[in-house]
Chains A and B, each alone.
Chain A
Amino acid sequence: MPFTFSIYDFTGFTQWIDATLRGACSPFWAVLWEMVIVGVLFLAFYAVVGLYLVYAERKVCAFIQNRVGPNRVGPYGFFQTIADLIKLLMKEIISIREADKLLFNLAPFIVIVTSFLALAAIPFAKGLHPIDLNIGVFYVMAISSMGVVGILLAGWSSNSKYSLLGAMRSGAQIISYELSVGMALVTMCVLAGSLQLSVIVEQQRDLWFIFKGHFPAVTAFIIYMIAATAETNRGPFDLAEAESELAAGFHTEYSGIKFAFFFLAEYMNMFIVASLAATVFLGGWMPFHIPGLESFNHVMDFIPPVLWYIGKTAFIILLMMWFKWTFPRLRIDQLLNLEWKFLLPISLVNILIMAFIVLMGWYIGL
């Protein structure tokens, strides 16, 4: 297989790697080597994205709050979060005498592993898609909802009342908001007719789903944004942490690198829900096309798909940061009210409307 590399299509490149490896060693070792390569790449990706999302959040919140933000370490404070990470690495890991040692140590790993797993199914660009599961949407949903186990364990095993309250809040919150996230995604899957993320992206070739599905798609998008913000435990739904009420919620007793795990996982979860939203609603790596305007579509095709993907994800992340730094926090009963009295009924009706629209063919597009 000849070496090909194109920023517009990574399929040739990944196939070339596969073919080269299979030519050099037995299939078992070839797969193993591929796993190692992807794993190392993902680890690096994870660290870079996690750290720079923290940096981005600090800068965004600083600008929203009319101040400068980190600006001491490196130009524009670019290495601030790296310095913070080094500090966290060097800090003492405090062990609690009365804590359940095993679960206490296990909890941050559960949280971080689940956020790591979900990355595997996300299509980053054409051909840059680790595993193209035929139940991609379902897989991401299922994996990302497992993170709550880690949070519950962290709160429970810390043997602290503040942590326990935070964990219980988080449990109630995530279990109920999972529903709305699922419903919003199901609405879009009805439109797409598939759960496979690559198919979903491919179907948005002529028009993104948020425009194609017009009214119900926009509603689903708003519901997804609210529910996803809640599911990632971010403000205004950061009840599990609630620093003005519970000191730090479920991770009150954690220190050093274990705390950093929770911190990174929060940002990675945000990245995952944002990229899922970008994929399902905004077309993933698919450039912006308008049916009928061929020259415009052609210009749009010149922008590499990776940039489209990153841009859309960044936009959603910015939106979520904007939420967090504007609104006060909800109370736990209001949070559940919002879910069970507003989001869930609306999204159920929304699915019906969407199904009807799909059946009648009333969506925009060819």
Chain B
Amino acid sequence: MTEEIIIKEAPEQEISINMGPQHPSTHGVLRLVLSLKGEMVQKVEPHCGYIHRGIEKMTESMTYQQIIHLTDRLDYLSAHMNNAAVCLAVEKALDIEVPERVKVIRTIIEELARIASHQLWWCSFGMDLGGLTCFFYGLRDREKILDIFEETTGSRLIQSYNCPGGLMADLHPDFQRKVKEFIVYFRKLLPEYDELLSGNIIMMERSKGIGVMTKEQAISYGMTGPSGRGSGFSCDVRKHHPYHAYDKVKFNEVLRTEGDTYARYMVRIDEMRESMNIIEQLIDNIPAGDFAVKMKPIIKLPEGEYYQRVEAARGEFGIYIISKGEKYPYRMKFRSPNFSNLSALDALTRGHKIADLVAIGGSLDYVIPDIDR
């Protein structure tokens, strides 16, 4: 009796891999469930919630001054922008006009925070691609900004420098000098970033044409910030709905139309230059005056709904307050840019390799506490 040998082609199996919550390149406790065919990513399913702290619920039992320090802990790299969003919302609701000095200082510090955030992004993007040296160069330069922050605000990362009606403290006398020094220093070192990473053939090969997102897709996913602008979606809140002193300064909205990883990369690099331009225009003309408006100790917003958006380092940060006329908000909702940007990850990475997933994730620059809140 002869055995009939049936050669069956092995079915192409999809394997599923857990990337995270502890993985070096998910930038925190993000969990991605990948379906792989060999090295090709078939599907990415982000699982959020590993660092959910219920900040939106917590705000319902806090006064508006107290809420500020919680917004620091959303997107900790653009803490100052998040603070400003709450302050602007409260000021708008109470119809308070803050002094010019406050506006200018807020603008300068926001731009510094944006540069610091983009530097850290550059660090981690370089590391995601496997070039560890970028990480240390970026951190070295970010240190200068953090020192400036520490001198004026007292903290390095989560400053809580804003308060409704103005600022917690006046500028440190050394602030202007140090910022000017930093601008000179960083203008000299930014070309090094380009030499080391932007112009590198390996980096170009790995990012050009990878993770392409069209403008229509970007709009439908709600991708904002540098990620959206890399696809040609003009979404700069600073330009379209100016707040602070942004209507008084000249700056370009950095736009690129390619929509790939390299475009998102270059938008951020160019934004650092634009931020330095903004700071240079303002740093010598900080008007004299009070650093805060005298506010009542207990702030009660009139009954109603308020929305304020600002341009955080990663995109449009929105804050939505429903007030019932009490000292606590009735309900508060944060529109975090990272959450919308993350939603596009699946569409961006389908059909690419794992290495591309890491690069695309790096170019989206997500901060997990902002996603989970």
Residues of A at the B interface (CB closer than 8 Å) are 61, 64-67, 161-162, 165, 169, 235-236, 238-239, 242-247, 325-334
Give CA–CA (A169, B355) in the complex, Å: 12
Which chain B residues in 113-151 approach chain A with CB under 8 Å?
A: 126-133, 135-137, 140
Residues of A within 8 A of B23 (CB): 247
User: Are A65 and B354 touching (Cβ within 8 A)?
Assistant: no
Interface stretch of the complex, out of B47-55, B97-105, B194-202, B222-230:
B194-202
User: Are B353 and A332 touching (Cβ within 8 A)?
Assistant: yes
User: Are A245 and B137 touching (Cβ within 8 A)?
Assistant: no
Residues of A within 8 A of B203 (CB): 328
User: Are A331 and B132 touching (Cβ within 8 A)?
Assistant: no
Give CA–CA (A247, B21) in the complex, Å: 12
User: Are A334 and B205 touching (Cβ within 8 A)?
Assistant: yes
Residues of A within 8 A of B140 (CB): 66
| Given known A245-B25, A245-B355, contact A325–B132 (CB-CB < 8 A) | yes
Among residues of B, the one whose C-beta sits closest to the C-beta of A169 is B39
In this complex, which of A238, A247, A329 has the most chain B Cβ atoms within 10 angstroms of its Cβ? A329
User: Are A245 and B202 touching (Cβ within 8 A)?
Assistant: no
User: Are A327 and B202 touching (Cβ within 8 A)?
Assistant: yes
User: Are B130 and A235 touching (Cβ within 8 A)?
Assistant: yes
A-contact 0/1 string along B335-353, CB 8 Å cutoff: 0000000000000000001
* Other-chain residue from A66, A169, A244, A330 in contact with B24 (beta carbon distance below 8 A): A244
Among residues of A, the one whose C-beta sits closest to the C-beta of B126 is A328
User: Are A65 and B132 touching (Cβ within 8 A)?
Assistant: yes
User: Are A238 and B17 touching (Cβ within 8 A)?
Assistant: no
* Other-chain residue from B24, B137, B200 in contact with A243 (beta carbon distance below 8 A): B24
Give CA–CA (A64, B140) in the complex, Å: 13
User: Are B354 and A328 touching (Cβ within 8 A)?
Assistant: no
User: Are A334 and B206 touching (Cβ within 8 A)?
Assistant: yes
User: Are A328 and B131 touching (Cβ within 8 A)?
Assistant: yes
Residues of A within 8 A of B130 (CB): 235-236, 238, 242, 244, 327-329
Residues of B within 8 A of A66 (CB): 136-137, 140
Give CA–CA (A165, B38) in the complex, Å: 8
User: Are A329 and B137 touching (Cβ within 8 A)?
Assistant: no
In this complex, which of A235, A243, A244 has the most chain B Cβ atoms within 10 angstroms of its Cβ? A244
Residues of A within 8 A of B127 (CB): 244
Residues of B within 8 A of A333 (CB): 353
In this complex, which of A161, A238, A327 has the most chain B Cβ atoms within 10 angstroms of its Cβ? A327
Residues of A within 8 A of B157 (CB): none
Chain A-chain B contacts (Cβ-Cβ < 8 Å), number: 80
* Other-chain residue from A162, A243, A327, A331 in contact with B131 (beta carbon distance below 8 A): A327
Residues of B within 8 A of A244 (CB): 24-25, 127-130, 358
Q: List 24 A-B contacts (CB under 8 A).
A: A61-B133, A64-B133, A65-B133, A66-B136, A165-B354, A169-B39, A235-B130, A236-B202, A242-B355, A243-B24, A245-B355, A245-B358, A247-B24, A326-B131, A326-B133, A327-B200, A328-B126, A329-B202, A331-B206, A331-B353, A331-B356, A332-B39, A334-B202, A334-B206
Give CA–CA (A251, B132) in the complex, Å: 20
Residues of A within 8 A of B353 (CB): 331-333
Residues of A within 8 A of B137 (CB): 65-66
What 13 new A-B contacts, CB under 8 Å, besides A327-B200, A327-B202, A328-B202? A61-B132, A65-B137, A66-B137, A161-B15, A162-B17, A236-B130, A243-B24, A328-B131, A328-B200, A328-B203, A329-B129, A331-B206, A334-B202
Among residues of A, the one whose C-beta sits closest to the C-beta of B128 is A244
Residues of B within 8 A of A332 (CB): 39, 353, 355
Give CA–CA (A331, B137) in the complex, Å: 24
User: Are B196 and A326 touching (Cβ within 8 A)?
Assistant: yes
Residues of B at the A interface (CB closer than 8 Å) are 15, 17, 23-25, 36, 39, 126-133, 135-137, 140, 196-197, 200, 202-203, 205-206, 353-356, 358
Closest 7 pairs (CB-CB, A-B):
A329-B130, A328-B129, A65-B136, A328-B131, A244-B25, A331-B355, A328-B130
Among residues of B, the one whose C-beta sits closest to the C-beta of A160 is B17
* Other-chain residue from B17, B202, B356 in contact with A330 (beta carbon distance below 8 A): B202
Residues of B within 8 A of A61 (CB): 132-133
Among residues of A, the one whose C-beta sits closest to the C-beta of B25 is A244
Q: How far is the CB of A328 from chain B (nearest CB, A)?
A: 4
Give CA–CA (A207, B95) in the complex, Å: 84
Residues of B within 8 A of A239 (CB): 355
Give CA–CA (A61, B132) in the complex, Å: 9
Residues of B within 8 A of A247 (CB): 23-24
Give CA–CA (A246, B355) in the complex, Å: 9
Among residues of A, the one whose C-beta sits closest to the C-beta of B356 is A331
User: Are B136 and A67 touching (Cβ within 8 A)?
Assistant: yes
Give CA–CA (A326, B202) in the complex, Å: 11
Q: How far is the CB of A221 from chain B (nearest CB, A)?
A: 20
In this complex, which of B17, B132, B203, B206 has the most chain A Cβ atoms within 10 angstroms of its Cβ? B132
Q: How far is the CB of A334 from chain B (nearest CB, A)?
A: 6
User: Are B39 and A165 touching (Cβ within 8 A)?
Assistant: yes
Residues of B within 8 A of A165 (CB): 39, 354
Give CA–CA (A329, B133) in the complex, Å: 12
Give CA–CA (A161, B33) in the complex, Å: 13
Residues of B within 8 A of A67 (CB): 136
Residues of B within 8 A of A246 (CB): 354
In this complex, which of A165, A169, A239, A331 has the most chain B Cβ atoms within 10 angstroms of its Cβ? A331
Among residues of A, the one whose C-beta sits closest to the C-beta of B361 is A244
In this complex, which of A236, A243, A245, A328 has the most chain B Cβ atoms within 10 angstroms of its Cβ? A328
| Given known A328-B206, A329-B130, contact A245–B136 (CB-CB < 8 A) | no
Give CA–CA (A200, B200) in the complex, Å: 37
* Other-chain residue from A235, A236, A245, A327 in contact with B354 (beta carbon distance below 8 A): A245
Give CA–CA (A244, B23) in the complex, Å: 8
Residues of B within 8 A of A331 (CB): 205-206, 353, 355-356
* Other-chain residue from A242, A245, A325, A334 in contact with B133 (beta carbon distance below 8 A): A325
Give CA–CA (A332, B358) in the complex, Å: 14
Among residues of A, the one whose C-beta sits closest to the C-beta of B140 is A66
Give CA–CA (A136, B346) in the complex, Å: 52
Give CA–CA (A243, B128) in the complex, Å: 9
User: Are B202 and A161 touching (Cβ within 8 A)?
Assistant: no
Residues of B within 8 A of A169 (CB): 39
Residues of B within 8 A of A65 (CB): 132-133, 135-137
Q: How far is the CB of B207 from chain A (nearest CB, A)?
A: 9
User: Are A329 and B136 touching (Cβ within 8 A)?
Assistant: no
